[in-house]
Amino acid sequence: MSTAKNIRLNIRNETGAEIKVTKVEYDDGNSWNTESWLGLDGHQKIMPGMTAELNKRDLGGVGPSGGISKRTQFRLTYETHIGGDKWTDKRSIISNEFAIPEDSRWLMFVPSGHVTMPKVFE
């Protein structure tokens, strides 16, 4: 199986409230795989209107083979801050399907799940 190396993922919070991303997975065509996208504390908090860059990862099973990148999706699990130390139950969103070349950077929007390869980041 081929590996897509040096993949960067940014998450844009468009919910209107602080979110806490607790899990990021990708689909290799057979199963959902979890990588260590998030920091040592296992989550990433993102304020409304802000973008967070997650750790760079290598994704097995979705890299180019014969010059063609395999199609994949991201699944993101998050909670919404509702005040004090309270968060909503976990919700998961699944992105649109896309081909993922090596050394690429992606932007995923919450709550829509749309993923794009932007030319410029803020």
CATH 2.60.40 fits 3-116, yes or no: yes
Q: What is the pLDDT of residues 66-96, one digit of tens each?
A: 566 678 899 999 999 999 999 999 999 999 9
What pLDDT score does 121 carry? 45
Using the 8-state DSSP alphabet, how is residue 90 labeled? P
Cα atoms in the 13 Å half-sphere on the side-chain side of 9 = 30
Task: Provide the residue ranges of all domains of the chain, joining segments of one domain with +.
Answer: 3-116
pLDDT band at 120 (very low <50, low <70, confident <90, very high): very low
3-state secondary structure 31-83: CEEECCCCCCCCCEEECCCCEEECCCEEEECCCEECCEECEECEEEEEEEEEE
Using the 8-state DSSP alphabet, how is residue 4 labeled? E
Q: What is the pLDDT of residues 39-53, one digit of tens each?
A: 778 899 999 999 999
Q: Indicate if the alpha-carbon torsion angle 60, 27, 67, 113 is positive or negative.
A: negative
Joined tokens for residue 44: 């990433």
What pLDDT score does 41 carry? 83
What pLDDT score does 108 carry? 93
